[in-house]
Chains A and B, each alone.
Chain A
Amino acid sequence: MTQAARLKLRMQKELKLLLNDPPHGASFPFLSPDSDLSDLSSIDAQIEGPEGTVYAKGVFKIKIQIPERYPLQPPIVTFGTPIYHPNIDNGGRICLDILNLPPKGAWQPSLNISTLLTSIGLLLSEPNPDDGLMCEASREYKYNRQAFDHKARSMTEKHAKAGAGENSCSNQCTETNTDSTMMEVQGFDKESKHGANEFIPCHKKPHGISQKLSLESTSSDKKKDSDQDVPSQHFFPSDSMNQMEGKRKREKENDVLNECNLNHEKVNGNGWKLSLKSSNQFKDDFDNKENVDPNYLSSLCQHRASSGSSLLQASRIQQLDQHQDGKSANSSIKSSSKHCQNQKQPCGSTDPLQTCENVKMLETPQEEFVDRMENVSATTKSEQVSSVGRKLSLGLKGSSHKQQESNKENVTPVHNLILPKPQTPGKSGLGRKLSLGPLTQVQQNCGHNQKQQSHRPQSIETDVEIKQKGGEETEEFPISEMVVVLDSEDSEEEGHASLRSRMPIARKRLGKWSAKT
């Protein structure tokens, strides 16, 4: 009896078992008892995401290739459906010990396809982040489950649900570059979206490249925009939409997920910017860790600055922002002390609403969200458009995780946080420098995550404080001044006695910082 004949014999038995007694959650849409047994070098299976996991209700395609020397050699198993999992990479490759021969793996010929599928089902239920194939997913799984769950769910929603699954699968099966790269980008984007909490080592790698590319797409966005007679930064509002949606999503149902994802793809061109922002946020987190709330605010300011300055294009936009801000605030922001004062006006709780309005104008798909926002407010000026939206997005991003932790509707204070206005171009250089430091600190972030959580309540407190002080006054100004323009402290401090007590801390913090940079 030849090897081939034995293999065929074995496969016949395997198929019989698979069809008569399929492993839990698995199905074989292309197999039937009459299947042509002569070509069983590959089996297509489907496996349902285990109930109660982030993959629940998803149906994942699995391709099982049978090697010539099976069962002495393990089958080659890959996911045909994109999945966000610590042990499954973008190409669908699975890191599972029984898929490899010893000594690296633990395949043994007494295993079979049925047990293999059972193991994969188990892997979905219980990822093994200690042996992660996807470093960032592993880290998230270990240190930031919320972000992980969210990403995994939206991936499932997008690719593994009935309908969606179909086409992503076929793409994947043919091993198209595009598919996996799309996943990559998406992940990338999402990362930046949730950037606040997470540690993304990979971020640095693709950074430079995606930057170039994003520039290009940004300009194309602009073209589109001009066609629509809309201010050129249309992606900013949509960006902020994502942010807000994301946040809201967490608070509410998951239905919005899809929408959000779609959105993200559209905004893709912004990947670079987003990621920059988020890396800045690492810094924020870092600061939070250090207990200094004002600093948090200040860092917000800074990264506003840095995100503006780091791109030529961005700085152009920034100028635009200022321009528009100027309009809305009725004064231009040249001196920083003034700048602070001015900020307060546009920054009140109406800002978010404006953004919403803007978003509505620009992005119809978000109706749901917009509706919601409209209920809250009616006062919006559409002239403002995207510049505010952009600021908002930053603020929301930074604060969203706070909310999510506290489950409080802190919206107003949060918006206050957003207020930091664009820096004058001259200062942006400084901001940029500062932002570079945190990038390297990112690593510490993950280690400190737990600490971070404990600090959150504190920052919320601050928010409340701000509110009490009468919404108009925004706490971040003293700090932003400190960071950027030290001479403007006085004017602010006069206004807030209680703030003063914070100042030294903030200052200290800043001192440390500048030493680092």
Chain B
Amino acid sequence: MQNREGVVADGEKESAVSIPVSEFDDWAKFADDDIMQQQSAFHAEEAKKVPFVGDKEPLTMLAAEYESGSPILLEKIKLLGQQYAAIRRTRGDGNCFFRSFMFSYLEYVLESQDHAEVDRIKGNVEECRKTLQSLGYADFTFEDFFALFLEQLDSVLQGNEDSISQDELIIRSRDQSISDYVVMFFRFVTSGEIRKRSEFFEPFILGLTNATVEQFCKSSVEPMGEESDHVHITALSDALGVPIRVVYLDRSSCDNGGVSVNHHDFVPTSGGHSNATSGSTEPVSPFITLLYRPGHYDILYPK
């Protein structure tokens, strides 16, 4: 106390008087900052364990994880093994759906070199851009994210000078400055789609959170780290015209006592984009398959 007074100024009584006060203030704040710091440290630690996008693992690894778990789950994993060969985990940071979708989609393009699909999705991306503009978004707030996604799209198509290999795709997906930007691109697209078709999405959103469409987009779609639900998946799938299959791994079982792994296909409803290639009558078979365990999405690879 005395020392401090000495340090602070001979003349200024005012400042001397209040030092303890402000110290107290700082101290109070410090606790808050401390908690935040701890929290981010925790995240950082978690990050080391699981990269944004992990390595491809055989499905048996998943079985090992549940070895002593629910028999229903084990049974389901066994069933999964009949259809799927591998799993690629993503970090559970709230962005896992978007991150899984990103990698899965780019990887699909990289492997299939499906130029038609790339052209198609570029058309959809332009639509999304217009949607956002018409919704009043300032161009500069989203165009960087759009540009980055289109950049990735181009680079997974081989034959360009900046084409990338799968290894490079993995590296990029683990690079926060790219990965997060692409995730954010998807969030913009999703938010735009929900807002554009707010009448369609409203009942679903009400069922989820009791929030308005606007609030929902603000609080649960656009912010990074907000987890995705079927509303997000539907919107993203519709907006980009990309079908998505989600396989559910939970403890539910069928009425007849038998166990089966159920899945749901999110098939784009809007426009003819998605049907243009596969024909309108044929059922769409999603090339993106995600494994859902309550609270988390990973990528599944069919056999």
> A184 with B225: in contact, given A102-B219, A210-B17, A213-B17 (CB under 8 Å)?
no
For the complex, what is the distance from the CA of A217 to the CA of B15, rounded to whole Å?
Answer: 11
| Cβ A108 vs Cβ B218 within 8 A | yes
Complex interface: chain A residues within 8 A of B1 (CB): 209, 212
| Cβ A112 vs Cβ B140 within 8 A | yes
A162 at the interface (CB under 8 A from B): no
> A1 with B21: in contact, given A109-B141, A178-B9, A268-B14 (CB under 8 Å)?
no
| Cβ B151 vs Cβ A1 within 8 A | yes
Q: When each residue 24-52 of chain B gets 1 if its CB lies under 8 Å from chain A and 0 otherwise, what string results?
A: 11100100000000000000000000000
| Cβ B137 vs Cβ A110 within 8 A | yes
* Shortest distance between the CB of B181 and any CB in chain A (Å): 7
| Cβ B137 vs Cβ A271 within 8 A | no
* Shortest distance between the CB of A385 and any CB in chain B (Å): 23
| Cβ A268 vs Cβ B144 within 8 A | no
Complex interface: chain B residues within 8 A of A90 (CB): 22, 25
B13 at the interface (CB under 8 A from A): yes
For the complex, what is the distance from the CA of A147 to the CA of B141, rounded to whole Å?
Answer: 41
A477 at the interface (CB under 8 A from B): no
| Cβ B13 vs Cβ A213 within 8 A | yes
> A184 with B21: in contact, given A6-B181, A109-B141, A110-B137 (CB under 8 Å)?
yes
| Cβ A106 vs Cβ B17 within 8 A | no
| Cβ B180 vs Cβ A72 within 8 A | yes
Complex interface: chain A residues within 8 A of B219 (CB): 102, 106
| Cβ B8 vs Cβ A178 within 8 A | yes
| Cβ B15 vs Cβ A177 within 8 A | yes
| Cβ A110 vs Cβ B141 within 8 A | yes
* Shortest distance between the CB of A267 and any CB in chain B (Å): 10
Complex interface: chain B residues within 8 A of A101 (CB): 223-225
> A17 with B138: in contact, given A1-B151, A101-B224 (CB under 8 Å)?
yes
| Cβ A9 vs Cβ B144 within 8 A | yes
* Shortest distance between the CB of B78 and any CB in chain A (Å): 37
A72: contacting residue among B16, B18, B24, B224, CB under 8 A: B224
Complex interface: chain A residues within 8 A of B177 (CB): 2-3, 6, 69
* Chain A minimum-CB-distance residue to B176: A69
| Cβ B140 vs Cβ A14 within 8 A | yes
> A206 with B24: in contact, given A108-B222, A181-B14 (CB under 8 Å)?
yes
Interface size class of B (residues with CB under 8 A): 35 or more
> A17 with B140: in contact, given A177-B15, A178-B8, A178-B12 (CB under 8 Å)?
yes
B19 at the interface (CB under 8 A from A): yes
In chain A, positions 184-205 with a C-beta closer than 8 Å to chain B are 184-186, 188, 205
| Cβ A268 vs Cβ B148 within 8 A | no
Q: When each residue 208-245 of chain A gets 1 if its CB lies under 8 Å from chain B and 0 otherwise, what string results?
A: 01101110110010000000000000000000000000
Complex interface: chain A residues within 8 A of B218 (CB): 106, 108
**Tally of contacts, chain A with chain B, CB under 8 A:** 131
Complex interface: chain B residues within 8 A of A210 (CB): 17-18, 20-21
Complex interface: chain A residues within 8 A of B19 (CB): 177, 181
| Cβ A181 vs Cβ B223 within 8 A | no
A327 at the interface (CB under 8 A from B): no
Q: When each residue 239-259 of chain A gets 1 if its CB lies under 8 Å from chain B and 0 otherwise, what string results?
A: 000000000000000000000
For the complex, what is the distance from the CA of A69 to the CA of B40, rounded to whole Å?
Answer: 15
* Chain A minimum-CB-distance residue to B24: A205
| Cβ B14 vs Cβ A182 within 8 A | yes
Interface size class of A (residues with CB under 8 A): 35 or more
B101 at the interface (CB under 8 A from A): no
B84 at the interface (CB under 8 A from A): no
* Shortest distance between the CB of A70 and any CB in chain B (Å): 11
B126 at the interface (CB under 8 A from A): no
Q: When each residue 270-291 of chain A gets 1 if its CB lies under 8 Å from chain B and 0 otherwise, what string results?
A: 0100000000000000000000
For the complex, what is the distance from the CA of A103 to the CA of B224, rounded to whole Å?
Answer: 9
For the complex, what is the distance from the CA of A114 to the CA of B137, rounded to whole Å?
Answer: 12
B67 at the interface (CB under 8 A from A): no
| Cβ B140 vs Cβ A109 within 8 A | no
* Chain B minimum-CB-distance residue to A134: B25
| Cβ A220 vs Cβ B25 within 8 A | no
> A89 with B13: in contact, given A102-B219, A178-B8, A210-B20 (CB under 8 Å)?
no
* Shortest distance between the CB of B132 and any CB in chain A (Å): 8
Complex interface: chain B residues within 8 A of A206 (CB): 18, 20-21, 24
Q: When each residue 136-156 of chain B gets 1 if its CB lies under 8 Å from chain A and 0 otherwise, what string results?
A: 011111101100100100000
| Cβ A103 vs Cβ B17 within 8 A | no
For the complex, what is the distance from the CA of A43 to the CA of B176, rounded to whole Å?
Answer: 25
> A182 with B137: in contact, given A6-B148, A101-B223, A101-B225 (CB under 8 Å)?
no
B29: contacting residue among A69, A93, A178, CB under 8 A: A93
B291 at the interface (CB under 8 A from A): no
Q: When each residue 200-241 of chain B gets 1 if its CB lies under 8 Å from chain A and 0 otherwise, what string results?
A: 000000000000000000110011111000000000000000
Complex interface: chain A residues within 8 A of B184 (CB): 72, 109
For the complex, what is the distance from the CA of A186 to the CA of B29, rounded to whole Å?
Answer: 20
* Chain A minimum-CB-distance residue to B36: A104
Complex interface: chain A residues within 8 A of B187 (CB): 109
* Chain A minimum-CB-distance residue to B26: A91
For the complex, what is the distance from the CA of A107 to the CA of B226, rounded to whole Å?
Answer: 11
Max chain A C-beta neighbours (<10 A), residue from B16, B145, B181, B187: B16
A180 at the interface (CB under 8 A from B): yes
In chain A, positions 323-349 with a C-beta closer than 8 Å to chain B are none
A67 at the interface (CB under 8 A from B): no
A129 at the interface (CB under 8 A from B): no
B25: contacting residue among A71, A89, A109, CB under 8 A: A89
B17: contacting residue among A13, A71, A217, CB under 8 A: A217
> A110 with B25: in contact, given A182-B18, A206-B20, A210-B20 (CB under 8 Å)?
no
A122 at the interface (CB under 8 A from B): no
B188 at the interface (CB under 8 A from A): yes
* Shortest distance between the CB of B19 and any CB in chain A (Å): 6
* Chain B minimum-CB-distance residue to A71: B141
For the complex, what is the distance from the CA of A246 to the CA of B85, rounded to whole Å?
Answer: 79
| Cβ A109 vs Cβ B17 within 8 A | no
> A178 with B17: in contact, given A109-B145, A110-B222 (CB under 8 Å)?
no
For the complex, what is the distance from the CA of A108 to the CA of B187, rounded to whole Å?
Answer: 10
Complex interface: chain A residues within 8 A of B222 (CB): 108-110
Complex interface: chain B residues within 8 A of A2 (CB): 177
* Chain B minimum-CB-distance residue to A180: B22
For the complex, what is the distance from the CA of A178 to the CA of B180, rounded to whole Å?
Answer: 41
| Cβ A178 vs Cβ B15 within 8 A | yes
| Cβ B21 vs Cβ A181 within 8 A | yes
A265 at the interface (CB under 8 A from B): yes
| Cβ A188 vs Cβ B21 within 8 A | yes
> A184 with B22: in contact, given A102-B226, A109-B184 (CB under 8 Å)?
yes
For the complex, what is the distance from the CA of A175 to the CA of B5, rounded to whole Å?
Answer: 18
Interface CB pairs A-B, < 8 A, 16: A1-B148, A6-B144, A13-B139, A69-B177, A72-B181, A72-B224, A93-B29, A102-B223, A108-B223, A112-B140, A114-B138, A181-B15, A185-B21, A188-B18, A213-B5, A216-B13
What is the interface of chain A, defined by CB distance below 8 A to chain B?
A: 1-3, 6, 9-10, 13-14, 17, 69, 71-72, 89-91, 93, 101-103, 106-112, 114, 177-178, 180-182, 184-186, 188, 205-206, 209-210, 212-214, 216-217, 220, 265, 268-269, 271
Task: Give 10 closest A-B pairs by Cβ, nearest first.
Answer: A13-B140, A3-B177, A181-B18, A185-B18, A209-B20, A108-B222, A102-B223, A217-B13, A184-B18, A178-B15
